[in-house]
Amino acid sequence: MLILPAIDIKDNKCVMLSQGKFNHMKVYYSNPIEVALKWQEEGADYLHLVDLNGSIGDNLINKKSIERIIKEVNIPVQVGGGIRDEKKVEEILELGASRVIMGTVAVENMELLQKLIGIYGNEKIVVSIDAKDGRVATRGWETINEINSMDLCKILEEIGVSTVIYTDISKDGMLTGPNFNIYRKLKENTNLNIIASGGISSLEDVKLLKKLDLYGAIIGRAFYENILSYKEVIECL
């Protein structure tokens, strides 16, 4: 199972939110490039990078930080946050990102998503499903839709998506353990590569996710609060 340290960037700082709320934000590093290099030094195979300003509509604030991280590390980086059109996808891939993460587009413009998969392949286009009480959230988690997250995952598989990052918003940043039930159901009802995100806070959590045969897991606050170390997580796998 792939372990991806999370680097969430707001105003060119590495931060973490609780349940996606911007008023519940903690700054961990004033220089996100520093933390990207730290994860690489600790042995990370892949980084998960999110532009939080981009997720709510401002795609310019963190652009240079994102570009520098991609260019300065020697490991793959997947990038998300406000990527909602073809031009932005092309721009991020041209910077050198290994994968582009799209969320809102999967709900609001599935035709575009399908087109982009046709152009770049489903190895380059990953879909982020953020859900609250089983309903899909979009626009930086500001909008809760009536769409059932499991139904959406099935539709995405039908149109060619291969990898989904699934976040239970109620768990995100709370260190209360992931939503194992939804990951179990996703494995039972789809053939998608599932990346778990939100709430991972113990080695037991990691072991249980691995037991579910998930493709990957994103860990954020537990690393930044030194509750878990990258080394011990890898060793437990």
**Are the C-beta atoms of residues 200 and 207 closer than 8 Å to each other?**
no
For 147-174, the pLDDT digits (tens) are 899 999 999 999 999 999 999 887 666 6
**Are the C-beta atoms of residues 1 and 237 closer than 8 Å to each other?**
yes
What length does the chain have?
Answer: 237
Is the pLDDT at 141 greater than 80, yes or no? no
Tell me, what's the pLDDT at 172? 63
Measured distance CA(124)–CA(148) in Å, rounded: 25
pLDDT-based confidence at 187, cuts 50/70/90? very high
Tell me, what's the pLDDT at 66? 96
Task: Return mean pLDDT, the chain.
Answer: 92
**Are the C-beta atoms of residues 49 and 198 closer than 8 Å to each other?**
no
For 30-68, the pLDDT digits (tens) are 999 999 999 999 999 999 999 999 988 777 899 999 999
Strand ranges inside 97-215, DSSP E: 99-102, 125-132, 135-138, 143-148, 163-168, 193-197
Tell me, what's the pLDDT at 59? 77
User: Catalytic annotation on 130?
Assistant: yes
- Give me the phi and psi of 138, to 5 degrees please: -135, 180
Residue range 2-236 in CATH 3.20.20.70: yes
**Are the C-beta atoms of residues 48 and 66 closer than 8 Å to each other?**
no
For 95-111, the pLDDT digits (tens) are 999 999 999 898 889 99
The separation between CA 124 and the C-alpha centre of its own chain, rounded to angstroms, equals 14
**Are the C-beta atoms of residues 154 and 108 closer than 8 Å to each other?**
no
Q: Of residues 51, 130, 168, 205, which has the active-site annotation?
A: 130
Nearest CA-CA partner of 20 in 222, 157, 225, 168: 168
CA angle 12, 15, 18 (to 5 degrees): 145
**Are the C-beta atoms of residues 3 and 219 closer than 8 Å to each other?**
yes
Is the pLDDT at 3 greater than 70, yes or no? yes
- Strand, coil or helix: 89: helix
Measured distance CA(4)–CA(93) in Å, rounded: 19
For the chain, the structural domain boundaries read 2-236
Instruction: Please give the C-alpha separations between residue 177 and each of 22, 74, 204, 209, 215, in angstroms, as whole numbers.
Output: 21, 31, 9, 10, 18
Q: Of residues 8, 51, 168, 205, which has the active-site annotation?
A: 8
